[in-house]
Amino acid sequence: MSRSSHDVVIIGAGPAGLCAGMYAGRGMLDAVVLERGAPGGELLNTDLIEDYPGFASVKGHELARLMAEHAQKFGADIRQENVETVSKREDGIFEVTCTTGAVFEAPTVILTAGGTPIKLGVPGELEYAGQGVSYCAVCDGAFFKQQTIAVVGGGDAAVEEAAYLTRYAEKVYVIHRRDEFRASKLLQERLFANPKIEVVWNKVVTEMQGDHTGLKGLSLKDTVTGATSALPVTGCFVFVGFKPNTGLVTHHFAHDPSGYMITDDRMMTSIPGLFAAGDVRVQLTRQVTTAVGDATTAAIAVEKFLTERKAAAVA
C-alpha cells in the first residue's frame, strides 16, 4: 500500500477539479488530482459547449483536453485513481483511500466528484441498460441510426441531448412529466423547431419492455388522467438529474435534502479543511462556468486555510 503526503487532494478531474488543480499549482501548492477515468468529467459526455466564455462553440472533449493541459502546465499532478473514502484523523489530516490501496494524505481536500445519473427505477431499466437504455447521448447516440428513440426529462440536459440525438435517430420523442420544460428558453426554441422531435407532455415511464435483442418499447402513464399507453422505441435516454457523489466522505457534513453539500462563501463545508466545488454542492445552477468559479474560490481559500493552519501551529 503506497502512502503520500500533499498540501491538497482534489477528488475529481472535471471542469471544477481541473480548475482547482490549475489554481493550486499557481499557488505553489503540492496538489494531486485524482480521477477514476480520463480527465474531463461530464465534458466528455457533452458534444458541444456553447456557453463557456471565449468559446462560441467547442467540443466537450477538446475543452477537457485544454483544461487538463493548463492544470498540468502549472504543476497539477493528475492521477488515475478510484477514490473509495475520505476520512479525517484527529490530527486534522485527511486520508483519501483508493481502490488500489493507495492513500493520499493532506490537511485539505477539495471534493469535485460531480454526480451520478439518477435512474427512473422502473421495471426493465436495469435489464436493458446497454441494450437500448442509456444515460449518455454522446457515448451511445451513434448506435441508434435511423431508429425511433425516446428521451426522458425536461431540463437542459434532456432538451439539449434530444436535439443532439436527431443527428442519428429518425424520430426522437421527449417524454416529460409536466406540461412545460425547465430547460433554458434558447434550448427549448431549438427543440421545438426540430422536425424530428415530438414532445410527449404529462407522461411518466412506468416500464421498459423488450426481448433478447434489446429494448422494444415503453409503458407510459398520464400524470393528469392516469391513462396508460405504449410507445414503441428501440432506445431510451434518461436525463432526470444527478445524485451528488458525496458518499465518499465518511464523516457527517451539512447538506440539503438531496444530499448536496452546504458550503460557506469560501466553498468550505461544515468539516474544516474539506472544500466542495461544482456539482456536489448546493447552488442555483450547475454549469461549466459555475464549476470553475467554485473551484477558483476553493483553491484560493485552501491557500489561506493552510497559511492560517501553519500560523496557528507556530503560535
The confidence score (pLDDT) of residue 314 equals 83
If pLDDT is split at 50, 70 and 90, which confidence band does 242 have? Answer: confident
Mean pLDDT of 272-278: 97
Query: For residue 277, what are the domain limits?
Result: 3-116+242-314
Residue 125 lies in a domain: no
Q: Are residues 216 and 202 in the same domain?
A: yes
59 in a structural domain: yes
Say yes or no: 203 and 251 in one domain: no
The pLDDT tens digits for 139-193 are: 889 999 999 999 999 999 899 999 999 999 999 999 999 999 999 999 999 999 9
- CATH code, domain carrying 202: 3.50.50.60
pLDDT at position 295 is 98
Predicted pLDDT at 255:
96
Is residue 126, in this structure, part of any structural domain at all?
Answer: no
Same domain? For 26 and 111 the reply is yes
pLDDT in tens, 79-108: 999 999 999 999 999 999 999 999 999 999
More confident: 269 or 50: 269
Predicted TM-score (pTM) above 0.85:
no
Domain end point (choices 192, 223, 238) = 238
Res 127 pLDDT > 80: yes
pLDDT at residue number 82: 96
Considering 238, 259, 290, which residue would you say is the last residue of a domain?
Answer: 238
Closest C-alpha among 314, 239, 238, 242 to residue 278: 242
In a shared domain, residues 102 and 140: no
Q: Which residues are part of the catalytic machinery?
A: 136, 139-140
112 and 248 both lie in a single domain: yes
- Structurally, the chain folds into a number of domains equal to 2
Both 26 and 76 in one domain: the answer is yes
Give the distance, in angstroms, between the CA of residue 206 and the centroid of all CA atoms in the same chain. 25
> Are residues 229 and 250 part of one domain?
no
CA distances from 258 to 16, 110, 196, 301 (A): 20, 20, 35, 26
